[in-house]
Amino acid sequence: MQLFFSEFPIVFSAVAFLLALLIGSFLNVVIYRLPIMMERDWRKQCDDFAATPATDLPEGRFDLVLPRSRCSSCGKQITALQNIPVLSYLFLGGKCGHCSAPISRRYPAIELTTAILTAFVAWRFGFGWEAVAAIFITWTLIAISVIDFDHQIIPDSLSLPLVWAGLLMSLFHPLAGAEVLLVSPESSIAGAIAGYLILWSIYHLFRLVTGKEGMGYGDFKLLAGLGALLGWQMLHLIVLLSAVVGVIVGIGLIVLRSHDRQIPIPFGPFLAAAGWIAMMYGQQIIDKYMFLMS
């Protein structure tokens, strides 16, 4: 099978696309439930000190497995046939099969985005362990981006595994055939430390000058994870790309008056996008830049 996928990368990309549709559906569950799970845990800790029951949060078991998905409008359980990625949305006409309430377009959008990016990663790296690692990183970055966009938090349960994965994979450096995701232990450790300290320093400098908090600690940990995975050499590219995209998007939202200036724009999605680009084509971008400068 390895030889077959290696000789026919388009088949490997197609298989990865179909698998990622299912993963995209699961990412929708993670994106919706993980912040609620975190809030339930925070409320429970607060209840130890104050008699304020969290009546607005789900009772009973609530995690990434149970309870079964339900319509947010009528509460009816979604059947397996109604939960097929993308196809069920199209078949149902974008409405609940029970109450006909509209289903957010974001669900099939995340599923399709996950599938497309996964297929792109599979095509870029080819069949092998490096493609598998890059695919899991891609899925994690998608979940982080949407959760941060919705709630302006980056769960440690998603960002810290990137740090540990990067440090762990660096122990196998060098490995024949590794193109990106096997930096040296020294580069990985330095990347994790520098990634955290870069944004930590910017955060405290910004707060010292303005008296406001410009970003959260989750951003520090995310950049630390990207630094551990890709090495310190990629950090300047990631920071530059994320800053440029963030400024463009932020100005665009303000100019179009679709975003209140007083409402902060999460930085995590820009970091995640920049990290993904650096993972895919970081060295080529740096080489091209150096060639143009010389």
* DSSP per-residue string spanning 84-132: STTHHHHHTTTB-TTT-PBPPTHHHHHHHHHHHHHHHHHHHH-SSHHHH
The whole-number pLDDT of residue 268 equals 92
256 confidence band (pLDDT: 50, 70, 90): low
- Terminal alpha carbon distance of the chain: 44
Please tell me the predicted confidence (pLDDT) of residue 176. 46
CA–CA gap between residue 102 and residue 95 (Å, rounded) = 4
Q: Which 8-state DSSP code applies to residue 233?
A: G
User: For the segment 77-129, what is each residue's pLDDT rounded down to a tens digit?
Assistant: 887 777 778 888 888 888 887 787 888 888 899 999 999 999 999 999 888 88
Q: What is the pTM of this model?
A: 0.85
Look at residue 30 and tell me whether its pLDDT is greater than 80: yes
- For the chain, the average pLDDT equals 84
Residue 188 identity (one-letter amino acid)? S
Under the banding of pLDDT at 50, 70 and 90, the label for residue 137 is very high
| In contact, 99 and 73? CB cutoff 8 Å | yes
- How far apart (Å, rounded) are the C-alpha atoms in residues 217 and 209? 18
pLDDT at position 179: 57
Question: Token digits for 198?
Answer: 């870069």
pLDDT bucket at 7, cuts 50 / 70 / 90: confident
